[in-house]
Amino acid sequence: MCRITATPVKPSQRAWDGRIIFMTDLIVVGGGLAGSEAAWRAAQRGLKVRLYEMRPILQTGAHQTQDLAELVCSNSLGSNLPDRASGLLKNETRLLGSMLLECAEQASLPAGGALAVDRELFARLVTERLEAHPNITIVREEVREIPSTLTILASGPLTSPSLSASIATLSGEEHLFFFDAIAPVIHADSINMDVAFRASRYAAGNQDEGDYINCPFTKDEYYAFVEALLHAERIELRAFEDAIKTGVKAGHFFEGCLPVEIIAERGLDSLAFGPMRPVGLRDPRTGKRPFAVVQLRQDNLAGSLYNLVGFQTNLKFPEQKRVLRKIPGLERAEFMRYGQMHRNTFIASPKLLHPTLQHTHRNDLFFAGQITGVEGYMGNIATGLLAGENAARQFYGESLLELPQTTMLGALCHYITHADLKDFQPMKANFGILASMDFAPKTGKRERGGLYAERALAELQLLMDGEVRA
């Protein structure tokens, strides 16, 4: 854990919420992954925190429950493998003492080399931890303007119009928008296991039979499916589409969460080389690798629900049922939730934020999570942790923590604050953003990943040891 000093605490800020006078040291706006982690970290540092979440007073159209830290797009927090970018970010966040990662591991599901969770259990565990913390007060109401006191804005991709306008006024910059899409979830007992089969790619996984259910395609089945997908009716986009078209310079969709129909438009074989690639799998009926495959990942602890991996979509709901039932093994699939598309909002971080996630013109304002341009669940959690730590440091009058670019979290924060604004697009954890290393000739990709990870964790540990000794 990073150092907690004995610096005297400043007097708590006095605020008025329309009903009672309360004392608070920090306001956190948004009860998603980033906001929940930020509130916990600051509260652990001794700050009195008010965590604002607008649900259920104001719904988003994407969330299903009132719980904090609800996962919307997928139930996977990415790879657990230490030589993968997502795995490295997990290990860094674990080393820094993430509460949400603890909850994720308690709610984990079989997912091969990935960390997947039971959505409901995970959100409930986080909510219970936050509700029980003596330094945290949860307020269920919309924050319409940026507070004038020490604040972390972690309002996420579905920031309300009122708060978005307030942020735009503060920044003097137009927001950037893109669409995010949600994958469908189906009932496990509606899967035809005479066709589908259990397996993990290259036999990796925790279950003897494999952690994924795989739906194999022949060549003819694949092209028939793509044809149906391309001609299916899509949900008409709402009024903010024009703002998104003009706001995002690099395209309408974040590349890591493209709807399958958009991928299919790039070429008939694009899905077979993307989310439907069959590598590392063999169909037990034929003993051969399928031409293409759709993988299903367990979505809850009971194993009664599965989501279609990489199958975010904006097709109309009846069309989803019709087209997705063309997937071999899903001929009678029953859907618990259809795919959706929703607005995602992020700020011009290269102009507005320091790598500490502090605003360039307001020392008492921090941002965290997707609104900064950091993508991926673990990126949200990690930036929330850093923002919570640095808000506490600001409160105590300490130097803010800036992680080196040799760490994945440090590299992500450096990227979003130093990218060329005209081409700025959300970024997930990847080894390409790390400070470079000199590798021996013929060093393989996995070996390079392992060396990057080894360096990152060693330097993070040294930094933390130095903090403790200081």
Q: Are 397 and 7 in contact (CB under 8 A)?
A: yes
Query: 0.85 exceeded by the pTM?
Result: no
Q: Which CATH number fits domain 13-175+347-469: 3.40.190.10, 3.50.50.60, 3.90.550.10, 2.30.130.60?
A: 3.50.50.60
DSSP string, 161-189: HHHHHHHHHHH-S--EEEEEEE--EEEGG
The secondary structure element, H or E, covering residue 215 is strand 212-217
Pick from 311, 334, 303: nearest CA to 321 = 334
Pick from 150, 144, 141, 142: nearest CA to 169 = 144
pLDDT at 380: 95
The secondary structure element, H or E, covering residue 346 is strand 340-346
What interhelical angle do 33-44 and 377-396 show, nearest 10?
30
Is beta strand 136-139 parallel, antiparallel or unpaired with respect to 108-109? unpaired
One-letter amino acid at 387 equals A
Q: Are 70 and 63 in contact (CB under 8 A)?
A: yes
Tokens describing residue 129: 């931890």
As beta bridge partners, residue 295 has 214
pLDDT at 17: 47
As beta bridge partners, residue 342 has 180
Q: Is the preceding omega at residue 56 within 30 degrees of 0, hence cis?
A: yes
Alpha-carbon distance 25 to 150, whole Å? 7
Alpha-carbon distance 100 to 82, whole Å? 19
Give the single-character DSSP code of 292.
E
pLDDT at 245: 37
Tokens describing residue 462: 């040294």
Alpha-carbon distance 36 to 49, whole Å? 11
Domain ranges of the chain: 13-175+347-469, 181-343
Burial class (CB in 10 A: 0-12, 13-18, 19+), 6: exposed
Tokens describing residue 210: 């494999």
Non-local CB neighbours of 273 within 8 Å, separated by 6+ positions: none
| pLDDT in single tens digits along all 470 residues of the chain | 343 333 333 444 444 444 444 579 999 999 999 999 999 999 999 999 999 998 776 666 555 678 898 887 778 889 999 999 999 999 999 999 999 999 999 999 988 889 999 989 999 999 999 999 999 999 999 898 999 999 999 988 778 778 888 888 887 766 666 666 678 999 999 999 999 999 988 765 455 567 899 999 999 999 999 999 999 998 875 554 444 334 343 345 566 667 899 899 999 999 999 999 999 999 999 999 999 999 999 988 888 889 999 898 889 999 999 999 999 999 999 998 898 776 677 888 999 999 999 999 999 999 999 999 898 899 999 999 999 999 999 999 999 999 999 999 999 999 999 988 876 778 889 898 998 899 988 889 889 999 999 999 999 999 988 875 54
pLDDT at 242: 45
Place of tokens 């393989």: 444
- Alpha-helical (H) ranges within 248-376 are 260-265, 317-324, 349-352
Q: Domain spanning 181-343 has what CATH number?
A: 2.40.30
Tokens describing residue 112: 């091969």
One-letter amino acid at 134 equals P
Pick from 112, 74, 91: nearest CA to 449 = 91
3-state secondary structure 2-65: CCCCCCCCCCCEEEECCCCEEEECEEEECCCHHHHHHHHHHHHCCCCEEEECCCCCCCCCCCCC
pLDDT at 302: 83
As beta bridge partners, residue 22 has 15
